Structure 1
Amino acid sequence: MNQQSTATPAEHQGVALGSSFYAAMRILPRSQREAMFQIYSFCRFVDDIADSDAPRAQKLADLQQWRDDIDALYRGAPPPRLRDYVASLQQFGLKRQDFLDVIDGMEMDVPADIRAPDEPTLDLYCDRVASAVGRLSVRVFGLPEQDGIDLAYHLGRALQLTNILRDLDEDAGIGRLYLPREGLLAAGITSHDPREVMASPALPQVCAPLVKRALEHFARADEIMSRNPRRVVRAPRIMGKYYHSILQLLIARGFEKPRRPVKLGKASRIAILLQYAII
């Protein structure tokens, strides 16, 4: 992505068509929906930088430009591509640090591809690329402060761990391995080469603790959402149910070779949407 791009969130909404995010966010009132698409657009921009084929130095420079732009936004001098964000910041109290955390998370893959991070690094990665997005989102949804922070913590980690488990082979294909090194060693895997790890018969042993951890985070997130008004948690309910269903499909499939791709069907997505879209 060119760092001088001034595309607005509306121009990037098409990338979410058919996704769980788009389905969950389109049910929100207009001001909340616009704020969420701004958050989503920002995340897509910085994620596209991290995943691009540009030289690493260029990607670092582009991410730094986003940090500078976020700083300018909070100084009251937003660059063109962030001018539409001013109203959302004022209305929902979005925090500068959460935007910067997302950028820091995307940058973790840039100097070198992540391969078998230790547990604290994996958790930090999940916090930055998922829970930080959640911390922005819960302010838009209108959750109480502590419940919002707690929901972002648990649901963000549940979603990101599910993503990691779902995308094991895809990530390995581009040289990335998000499984924790402690889990690899416990299963007797000493290699950090993604393709070698994917070929190991011990891979299910590595995945099992992550599955358990994701399920625990989903359960804690459900507890928080259950004590808040249905209208406030409709969107995170849809996201949570969507990804929980993907995790259940992964559990049913298992992690032995061959691993067919897992995807939630259209009928299931519609059923989830209808279950929670109506107040």
Structure 2
Amino acid sequence: MTYTVAPPRIADDETAAETRRLVSASGSSFEMGMRLLPVPRRRAIYAVYAFSRVVDDIADGDAPPEARKQGLQDWRQELARAYDGRAQTPIGAELALAARTHDLPQAELARIVEGMQLDATPIIAPSAPELDHYIRCVAGAVGILAMRIFGGWRGEQSEEFALSLARAMQLINIIRDVSEDAAMGRLYIPRTVLATTGLPADPKAVPGHPALPEARRLLGVMARDSLLRARAEIPNHPRRAIFPALMMAGPYVALLSRMETDWSRQPPRRAGWRKLTDGLAFAIRPGR
């Protein structure tokens, strides 16, 4: 369900039930890490995830561009109402509670909407700064919010950890989903990589192109670099605070390792229990 208009206020237990429903329906591997949290923190991260999910659904939907633009604008307005104590949707009410409890910056939630607006455009062969900005919006903002909810926030050290880990995970997403994104007219591979490899800037021409494996490899190097920066910040945090984040990242790190064995091949998707073991393996031994 996507809210683009404001329904009546709903009782507190019903707002929490709605965000839980959206998280469960998404089938995201992130839910495994979320379930490790105490109930109040879990409720807050569910709110952030549900918010991200509904705005992403608007950006990825098949509605006309103006309708998608209006849907995202509706959520910008609901976000403002939530921070004013006037939320009119279940997700808005849950975000308001999470923001008060965990000091969540409104600007980070606004960045998520901005990133979805970029997705709705769509993005084709961005410059390096444009790709950085996009990743900061759609992944980095969620990472910052999640770290504040998980506890043990350490200022700049936590920001570096969150942004680096989020960047690595988003780059892995881009590598994995090149063909799927191309079918929607999107190409997130930056122009610098296209110029280096000879890959065309036409999304339709990218799947199956002989230069694609090398382009994916270069993005993989970028992802590994970001992952190393995130790992460097692990000792600066209580393990209990970052364990859920590492659980969420584990399946992505395992996917990157599998892709690195053959950049021309798309690894099959893992079963849920395999993602769970990947997440636990990385959370327990993130330095390996």
The residue that corresponds to 1:194 in the other structure is 203
Name the residue aligned to 1:45: 54
Q: Provide TM-score, normalisation by structure 1.
A: 0.91
Q: CA deviation at 1:113?
A: 1.8
Matches within 5 A, 1:10-21: 10-17=20-27, 19-21=28-30
Other-structure match for 1:149 = 159
Displacement of 1:207: 2.0
Q: Which runs of 5+ in 2 are unaligned?
A: 8-14
**Displacement, 1:168?**
0.8
Gaps of 5+ in 1: none
C-alpha distance 263-5 of structure 1, shift in aligned 2 (>3 A): farther
CA contact (8 A) 2:33 2:245 kept: yes
Q: Secondary structure at the match of 1:263?
A: coil
Q: Distance in 2 between matches of 1:144 and 1:85?
A: 22
Summarize deviations over 1:124-160 as a string: whole Å, max 9, x none.
Answer: 1111000011111110011212222111210110010
Give the total of aligned pairs.
Answer: 271
Is the 1:118–1:181 Cα contact (8 Å) retained in structure 2?
yes
Q: State yes or no: 1:169 paired with 2:175.
A: no
CA pair 13-265 structure 1, distance change in 2 beyond 3 A: closer
The CA deviation string for residues 193-222 of structure 1, in whole angstroms up to 9 with x for no partner, is 112122321122222221111001111111
The structural deviation recorded for 1:274 is 4.4
Note if 1:269 corresponds to 2:259.
no
Listed as ranges, the matches of 1:29-108 within 5 Å are 29-81=38-90, 82-108=92-118
Q: Is the 8 A contact 1:93 1:139 kept in 2?
A: yes
Alpha carbons 1:225, 1:237 under 8 Å: kept:
no
Are residues 1:185 and 2:195 paired?
Answer: yes
Q: Per-residue deviation at 1:252? A: 1.6
2:11: which partner in 1?
Answer: none
1:133 to 2:134 alignment = no
Query: Whole-Å Cα distance in 1 between the matches of residues 119 and 23 of structure 2?
Result: 25
Residue 252 of structure 2 is matched in structure 1 by 243
Question: Secondary structure of 1:177's partner?
Answer: coil
Per the TM alignment, residue 5 of structure 1 is displaced from its structure 2 partner at its CA by 6.5
The one-letter code of the counterpart of 2:176 is R
Alignment-mate amino acid for residue 5 of structure 2? Q
Distance in structure 1 (CA, Å) of the matches to 2:250 and 2:276: 12
Q: Is the 8 A contact 1:218 1:240 kept in 2?
A: no
Hey, what's the Cα distance between the residues in 2 that align with 1:5 and 1:163? 32
Structure 1 CA distance for aligned equivalents of residues 271 and 87 of structure 2: 41
Instruction: Give yes or no for contact 2:55–2:116 (8 Å, CA) kept in 1.
Output: yes
The alpha carbon displacement at 1:92 in A equals 0.4
Choose the corresponding residue for 1:229, options 214, 238, 246.
238
Query: What do the CA deviations read for 1:203-256 (whole angstroms, capped 9, x no partner)?
Result: 2222222111100111111121233111111111112222110111111231x3
Q: Distance in 1 between matches of 2:142 and 2:240?
A: 20
Q: Which TM-score applies when normalising by structure 2?
A: 0.88
The answer (yes or no) to whether the contact 1:16–1:22 under 8 Å persists in 2 is: no
For 1:205, give the aligned amino acid: E
Deviations 1:95-141 (A, max 9, x none): 1000000000000022x321111111111111100001111111001
Q: Is the 8 A contact 1:102 1:128 kept in 2?
A: yes
Relative distance call for 1:80 and 1:195 in structure 2 (3 A) is: closer
Measure how far apart 1:22 and its partner are. Answer: 0.5
What is the alpha-carbon root mean square deviation over aligned residues? 1.8
Larger CA deviation: 81-90 vs 260-269: 260-269
Contact 1:35 1:85 survives alignment (8 Å): yes
Match of 2:266 among 250, 260, 265: 260
